[in-house]
Amino acid sequence: MEEMRTLADLLDLQAVDSEIDRLLQDRQQLPALTSYKAAHDEWQSLVDERTRIAATAKQHELDLDKTSGELEIAEAKLAAEQNRLYAGGLSARDADYMRREVEMLGRKNEAMEEEVLQLMEQRDNASEAIGVLDAKIRVASIAKDELEREITESWKGIDAELARKETRKTDILPMIEQDLLDLYDRLREQKDDGLAVGRLAEGTCGACHLRLTAAEQLEAQRSDPPRCIHCRAILVP
């Protein structure tokens, strides 16, 4: 009778462990986890894109400052050369040289002015793109945070149930002999479904659900503890 109680306790332990396994699997396979990963990846992609564009915009700003400074110097030089040309007092040769110099400086300034306009347009486009990305990042962040809260709440419920199952397991363990527990643990490790114990009901093993003939049942019960001849699970008559 004591042996039967021990085997019954072992069956209770199996039920608790199966519940713990299920809860752990539920914890790892929450549908929201897949959605969260997709949301996080989208958010991260947007953040990375913003970082890239911000770096480009910063370079445009530096180039704009540099080119604008060079243009100011070039404009001042052009104005000085024009003043010298228009002030008169130059020989025909010097005046011709000065005209060519002024024309060259004018073309150079026009090119620099065009470059400044292009840099300003690039800077403004980058700034606009950053604004659009900031809006998208805020939306993506809200979606990500909502999923994170949903996962946290689900985990709280699962963890609370796990704690109750672990407490129940702690209550059962002292009722089972250590050598039987060791066998149970070994079988649990060997089986993909973790079913190391099954009730023998109407000739059917509760672990593998295969039927045992009368002769097979007698053979199974000759083992200590009784073992299913098909799956080698511990049988509880």
In tens, the pLDDT along 91-108 reads 777 666 667 776 787 788
The CATH classification number of 2-176 equals 1.10.287.1490
pLDDT higher than 90, residue 134: yes
DSSP H or E stretch at residue 103: helix 92-172
Nearest of 220, 236, 232, 237 to residue 183 by alpha carbon: 232
CB 180 within 8 A of CB 6: yes
Given this model, what pLDDT does residue 109 score? 79
Q: How many CB atoms lie within 10 A of CB 29?
A: 9
Given this model, what pLDDT does residue 196 score? 95
CB 184 within 8 A of CB 13: yes
144-148 CB contacts, 8 Å cutoff, 24+ apart: 144/36, 144/39, 144/40, 144/43, 147/32, 147/35, 147/36, 147/39, 148/36
Looking at every residue in the chain, the average pLDDT score rounds to 89
- Tens of pLDDT, residues 64-91: 888 888 778 877 777 776 777 667 667 7
The residues with which 211 forms a beta bridge, in sequence order, are 204
- Tens of pLDDT, residues 163-210: 999 999 999 999 999 999 999 999 999 998 999 999 999 999 999 999
Question: Structure tokens of 124?
Answer: 């403004």
Given this model, what pLDDT does residue 200 score? 93
Q: Which residue has the higher pLDDT, 106 or 124?
A: 124
Using CA atoms in the order 68, 69, 74, 79, what is the torsion angle rounded to 10 degrees?
Answer: 90
Given this model, what pLDDT does residue 1 score? 42
- Tens of pLDDT, residues 7-58: 899 999 999 999 999 999 999 999 999 999 999 999 999 999 999 999 999 9
Torsional sign, CA 145, 37, 52, 55: positive
